[in-house]
Amino acid sequence: MSENARFERWVVLLAGGIGSRFWPASTPRRPKQFLPLASGRPLIVDTAERAMALADASRVLIVAGEHLRAHLEGHLPDFARDQLLLEPQAKGTAPALAWAASEVVARAERPEQAVMVSLNSDHVIRPQDRFVSTLERAIEAAGRSDRLLTIGVQPTRPETGYGYIEVGEPMTPDVFEVRRFVEKPDRDTAEGYLAQGSFLWNSGMFVWRPQVLLAELSAHTPELAGDLQRLSDGDIGGFFANVPTLTIDYGLMERSPNIAVVEAKFDWDDVGAWAALLRVRERDAEGNLLIGAAHAPECRDSLIWAEEGPVVAFGVSDLVIVRASGITFVAPRERALDLKRLLAGLPEELKLGGE
Amino acid sequence: MSENARFERWVVLLAGGIGSRFWPASTPRRPKQFLPLASGRPLIVDTAERAMALADASRVLIVAGEHLRAHLEGHLPDFARDQLLLEPQAKGTAPALAWAASEVVARAERPEQAVMVSLNSDHVIRPQDRFVSTLERAIEAAGRSDRLLTIGVQPTRPETGYGYIEVGEPMTPDVFEVRRFVEKPDRDTAEGYLAQGSFLWNSGMFVWRPQVLLAELSAHTPELAGDLQRLSDGDIGGFFANVPTLTIDYGLMERSPNIAVVEAKFDWDDVGAWAALLRVRERDAEGNLLIGAAHAPECRDSLIWAEEGPVVAFGVSDLVIVRASGITFVAPRERALDLKRLLAGLPEELKLGGE
């Protein structure tokens, strides 16, 4: 870390999830980052701990919706109120990161020396030491250049829900040019990328100098460029009211020629669905993952999330069973990937949770 | 009915179930007869209505455990307190029916003219007019004879949980001798009975003169015979403390030569397990039976009992899903037959319900 001490390091946690992927345990009122998916603590608490391994706690900013204030204050009591950047409207990651970058510029002692790390608050990452060493390399590279650094993860399956990064020439032993950035390819394309071997998954973790991000947005993101001045003027409400919904992936990473990538040397999982928990958590001898007061005699390869009272499953296989938010949910593992479609067909009040 | 008016008709409802077959909706605190399994009303309310189609409400007696008093008083407000025969201990149907018979003898205006019908309180029976006409035939036959009349049901599957009655020579066009009474045969035997065509299921409904029942118990049931005097003496506590646990099927029906049978002309189901509900209740176009706030998109042939908050199943088949008594239960349809074995392995407090 001493080598990078000349950079003023800031970490931004993106905590704006909408809470449909782990329904009914996650709901708009309690998105996934507030669930204890990786350990006994909510994901966002794990993430904040990782952030504080990279930067001083006073230089951690958290971007989230206003409706999550109580959860954030409850779970993250070590942060001051002004470290919570509460979006007046959810407009996706591009506006959120633009605001965070402008806040870092405004708050930094030496803005030109500031490096900003952006972390999702709802991913599972282990072990911490290898996370830190990977991020140190990216901080070094971002601090010394005008590049947007992304953290790439070696793909292990033809996942169609992620972005893919085509890795180019090495810039240093640890940092590579990025040839292309492809968000959510179709299945055939993803299989091709996997076979080719020169693609990494986009982990959603980025490192850049905030002034570089703002300059890149001005240059490549016309959807926001005209409104960035509002941020420096402190007109946050006007900014969010004016800009369209836009992700940083589509809005900038696919467009900018100045991307570079550092390969993650740690295990990463975005736990994007109930079935993913069976991947990241240790299961019992029968392949079951039992959380809470769950009983599963003669069951196999099933996930039981028993948050509200006992759940007893008998003789089932490959099921996801959830009792949370006043709702009971049962689906085969592979169908639980399809939650968005299920929720679209359910009465509105069920999406919010029954209680 | 006019033809039988010379008999003083009494109906005894047996309401002593222990509540494991529909767990967790049924529990020892709320056995199956208090669940709305056949209609929107508890089975025992349906049964009481049938009883009152056979006898005056004041001549209906209900035998049950003391712990069910509140349920009985709540669901059956039309009966007087002294119509509830609350067993000091549960000892099975033979002692319960002996007590009920002695009460009928004691309360009847003309005991020698009394005919007693015994009905289980947790069966599904339709339609009522054919039930009444069948029972009228049995009342007639029992009133005119010293026979123990049982109501037999044409078997439709090689069920091993029931008793089988081998039908003998006709005594009248409607009433037949009984050659044998076989309780719970094994699968091969049951299949043989079904193929043979001369066996009926024992429905558990009986009709006899109470004095005949008591005489038959004296003659064929040494387990109780020595204690029957306690009943006439009013020493109910002593009777139940002294006698062993014994069913009327094993204790008398398999032993007595004086059994006769009337074939049921109505639909009968003892709804002995969750899966049976899919047999007796109307299902939707996908074969699902949804009770309460149940949602089942892309589901087939599944039963959802949503008593406590919404239950959402997505893309499952042949499952039983129950939310009741503070517990969530999930099992394949065929495994839900095996509840007794499941419950034996669960912590004691779960058997009683979670709330």
Task: Give the C-alpha separation, B26 to B203, whole Å.
Answer: 21
CA neighbours closer than 13 Å in the CB half-sphere of residue B116: 30
- Cα B176 from Cα B102, distance rounded (Å): 27
Q: Per the CB < 8 Å rule, is A342 touching B316?
A: no
- Tell me: the pLDDT tens digits for A286-337? 999 999 999 999 999 999 999 999 999 999 999 999 999 999 999 999 888 8
Determine the Cα–Cα distance for residues B284 and A117; give it in Å rounded to an integer.
Answer: 54
Q: How many residues does chain A have?
A: 355
Query: Please, which residues have CB within 8 angstroms of residue B176's CB and are 6 or more apart in sequence?
Result: B167, B168, B169, B170, B260, B261, B262, B263
CB contact under 8 A, A310 and B326: yes
CA distance B351 to B26: 9
Look at B332 and A345 and tell me if their CB atoms are within 8 Å.
Answer: no
Residues of B in contact with A350 (CB under 8 A): 295, 310, 312
pLDDT recorded at residue A287: 97
Domains of chain B: 2-269 (3.90.550.10), 274-351 (no CATH)
Q: Does residue A161 carry a pLDDT above 90?
A: no
Give B189 to chain A, closest Cα distance, Å. Answer: 28
Contact A295 B346 (CB under 8 A): yes
ipTM, two decimals? 0.87
Q: How far apart are the first and last CA of chain A?
A: 47
Question: Chain B residue closest to A346 (CA)?
Answer: B295
Instruction: For chain B, 355 residues long, give each residue's pLDDT as a single digit of tens.
Output: 444 568 999 999 999 877 788 999 999 889 999 999 988 899 999 999 999 999 999 999 999 999 999 999 999 998 999 999 999 999 999 999 999 999 999 999 999 999 999 999 999 999 999 999 999 999 999 999 999 999 999 999 999 888 999 999 999 999 999 999 888 899 999 999 999 999 999 999 999 999 999 999 999 999 999 999 999 999 999 999 999 999 999 999 999 999 999 999 999 999 989 999 998 899 999 999 999 999 999 999 999 999 999 999 999 999 999 999 999 999 999 888 889 889 999 998 898 886 5
> How many Å is the maximal CA-CA distance in chain B?
63
Task: Show residues of chain B in contact with A323, CB under 8 Å.
Answer: 323, 328
Contact status of A10 with chain B (Cβ, < 8 Å): no
Chain center to CA of B250: 15
Nearest-CA distance B66 → chain A (Å): 28
pTM: 0.88
Q: How far is B187 from chain A, CA to nearest CA, in Å?
A: 23
Hey, are the CB atoms on A321 and B306 less than 8 Å from each other?
no
Q: Which residue has the higher pLDDT, A210 or A336?
A: A210
If pLDDT is split at 50, 70 and 90, which confidence band does A2 have? very low
Q: Quick check: B146 contacting A, CB < 8 Å?
A: no
Q: In this complex, which of B312, B315, B323 lies closest to A350 when CB atoms are compared? A: B312
Q: Does A323 touch chain B (CB under 8 A)?
A: yes
The token duo for B198 is 């001369």
* pLDDT exceeds cutoff 70 at A4: no
What mean pLDDT, rounded, does chain A reach?
94
B341 interfacial to chain A (CB closer than 8 Å): no
Q: Of the candidates A35, A16, A12, which has an alpha carbon nearest to the alpha carbon of residue A86?
A: A16
Q: Do A335 and B350 touch (CB under 8 A)?
A: no
**pLDDT, tens digit (0-9, with 9 covering 90-100), for A95-133:** 999 999 999 999 999 999 999 999 999 999 999 999 999
Alpha helical stretches, state H, B254-321: 274-280
CA–CA dist B320, B331 (Å, integer): 5
| C-alpha pair distances (Å), A74 with each of A86, A231, B6, B131, B147 | 15, 28, 78, 63, 75
Contact B316 A332 (CB under 8 A): yes
Supply the angle between the helices A43-52 and A128-143 in degrees, to the nearest 10: 50
Which of B323, B326, B332 lies at the smallest CB-CB distance from A316?
A: B332
Identify the pLDDT of residue B2.
46
Note whether A319 contacts B316, CB cutoff 8 Å. yes
pLDDT of residue B1: 44
Q: In this structure, what are the phi and psi dihedrals at residue A77, rounded to the nearest 5 degrees?
A: -70, -15
From chain B, pick out residues whose CB is under 8 angstroms from the CB of A340: none
Letter for the amino acid at A157? Answer: R
- Could you read off the pLDDT of A42-51 as tens digits, one per residue? 999 999 999 9
> A313 to chain B: nearest residue by CA?
B330
Per-residue pLDDT tens digits for A11-37? 999 998 777 889 999 998 899 999 999
Query: CA B126 → CA B39, B265, B269, distances in Å?
Result: 11, 10, 9
Which chain A residue has the Cα nearest residue B350? A310
Q: B342 contacts in A (CB within 8 Å)?
A: 297, 312, 314
Q: What is the 3-state secondary structure (H, E, C) of chain A?
A: CHHHCCCEEEEEEECCCCCCCCCCCCECCECHHHCCCCCCCCHHHHHHHHHHCCCCHHHEEEEEEHHHHHHHHHHCCCCCHHHEEEECCCCCHHHHHHHHHHHHHHHCCCHHHEEEEEEECCCEEECHHHHHHHHHHHHHHHHCCCCEEEEEECCCCCCCCCEEEEEEEECCCCEEEEEEEEECCCHHHHHHHHHHCCEEEEEEEEEECHHHHHHHHHHHCHHHHCCHHHHHCCCHHHHHHHCCCCCHHHHHHCCCCCEEEEECCCEEECCCCHHHHHHHCCCCCCCCEEEEEEECCCCECCEEEEEEEEEEECCCECEEEEEECCEEEEEECCHHHHHHHHHHCCCHHHHCCCC
CB within 8 Å: B354 and A309: yes
- Element containing residue B110 per DSSP (H, E): none
Is A49's Cβ below 8 Å from some Cβ in B?
A: no
Alpha-carbon span A118 to A100, nearest angstrom: 9
> Quick check: A251 pLDDT over 90?
yes
Q: Measured between beta carbons, which residues in chain A are less than 8 angstroms from residue B315?
A: 331-332, 335, 338
When CB atoms are compared, the residue of B319, B323, B342 closest to A328 is B323
A94 dihedral zone (left: phi>0; alpha: psi -120 to 50; beta): alpha
User: What is the reported pLDDT for A234?
Assistant: 95
Distance from CA of A157 to the nearest CA of B (A): 24
Provide the pairing of β-strand B267-269 with B124-126: antiparallel
Burial of residue A328, with CB atoms counted within 10 A of its CB: 0-12 exposed, 13-18 middle, 19 or more buried: buried
- Which pair of tokens denotes residue A249? 């992936």
Query: Which of A298, A331, A354 comes nearest B315 by C-beta?
Result: A331
Q: Give the nearest partner residue to A330 out of B316, B338, B350, using CB atoms.
A: B316
In the block, tokens 């387990």 appear at B223
Place of tokens 């947790």: B122
Q: Count Cβ atoms below 10 Å from residue A258 Cβ, excluding itself.
A: 18
Q: Please say whether the dihedral angle defined by the alpha carbons of residues A304, A309, A312 and A313, taken in this order, is positive or negative.
A: negative
Closest CA to A153 of A187, A126, A185, A192: A126
Q: What is the pLDDT of residue B355?
A: 53
Name every chain A residue with its beta carbon within 8 A of the beta carbon of B354: 309-310
What is the H or E stretch that residue B8 is in? strand B8-14
